[in-house]
Amino acid sequence: MSIKGLIFDLDGTVVENDYDWAGIREELGTGAASILGFLDSLREPERSAKWAVLERHEARQTEASVLREGIADLLGLLRSRGIATALVTNNSRKNAEFLLGKFGLDFDCVITRESGLWKPSGAPFLEVLRNFGLEPGECGVIGDTHFDILAALDAGIDVIFLLSDEPERFAGFPVEVFSSVSGLLAVLAEATH
């Protein structure tokens, strides 16, 4: 593994919160569609009304978010090793900046949904690679959901780490699952030596 860059997800990865995505999808009536794509396809006045519903859930979860234990240490290690770091989130810039400021975190590149590039497409990750001048094989992804996996694979990135207490949910996917940052930190400390 010759990793020169790492792309982090925000919600559920860098910060912990408690989104009820199934409930939010039901409230919005998205069906199986991706939430952002669904909202973007609506016409007014339903469009604005439903965006407001999502933003209300996001504001509540952002306010209640806590920094995942070990993330600050991990970012410090990566910085000391000269590894570029990016944050890619389907959340808004306002919420991302609030959380980065609140927890004193610094990424070399931050891509939010205002870019129009959304997971599970690999497009936001390809934008990071362009930004860093890296090839897919030189970059890894750290996330917590299938969206992160699908986006990584779509971008041709095959070093995928997940932070999750439910490794069985990701059985069959080419990923390494860690229940805490400490295990991941040990692997990356070795790999970036």
**What minimum distance in Å lies between the beta carbon of 180 and Mg ion?**
16
Distance CA 122, CA 154 (A): 5
Contact 122, 156 (CB under 8 A): yes
Strand pairing category for 15-16 and 66-67 = antiparallel
**What minimum distance in Å lies between the beta carbon of 57 and Mg ion?**
14
**What minimum distance in Å lies between the beta carbon of 133 and Mg ion?**
26
Alpha-carbon 86 to chain mean position = 9
**What minimum distance in Å lies between the beta carbon of 89 and Mg ion?**
8
Secondary structure of residue 177 in the 3-state scheme:
strand
Q: State phi, psi for 140 to the nearest 5 degrees.
A: -120, 165
Nearer of residues 58 and 144 to Mg ion, judged by Cβ:
144
120 binding Mg ion? (CB under 5 A): no
Interface size with Mg ion, residues (CB under 5 A): 5
- CA-to-CA separations, 106 to 45, 67, 115, in angstroms, rounded: 38, 13, 19
H/E segment holding residue 59: helix 46-64
Return the residue of 3, 8, 11, 61 that touches Mg ion, per CB under 5 A: 11
Secondary structure of residue 100 in the 3-state scheme:
helix
Nearer of residues 114 and 135 to Mg ion, judged by Cβ:
114
Judged by CB under 5 A, the stretch of 2-10, 22-30, 90-98, 185-193 that binds Mg ion is 2-10
**What minimum distance in Å lies between the beta carbon of 80 and Mg ion?**
26
9 binding Mg ion? (CB under 5 A): yes
Nearer of residues 30 and 61 to Mg ion, judged by Cβ:
61
58 binding Mg ion? (CB under 5 A): no
Return the residue of 12, 122, 124, 140 that touches Mg ion, per CB under 5 A: 12
Across 127-156, b (16+ Cβ under 10 Å) vs e yields: bbbeebebebebbbbbbbbebbbbbbbebe
Site string for Mg ion, 134-153 (x = CB under 5 A): ----------xx--------
Residues at the site binding Mg ion, with contacts judged by CB under 5 A: 9, 11-12, 144-145
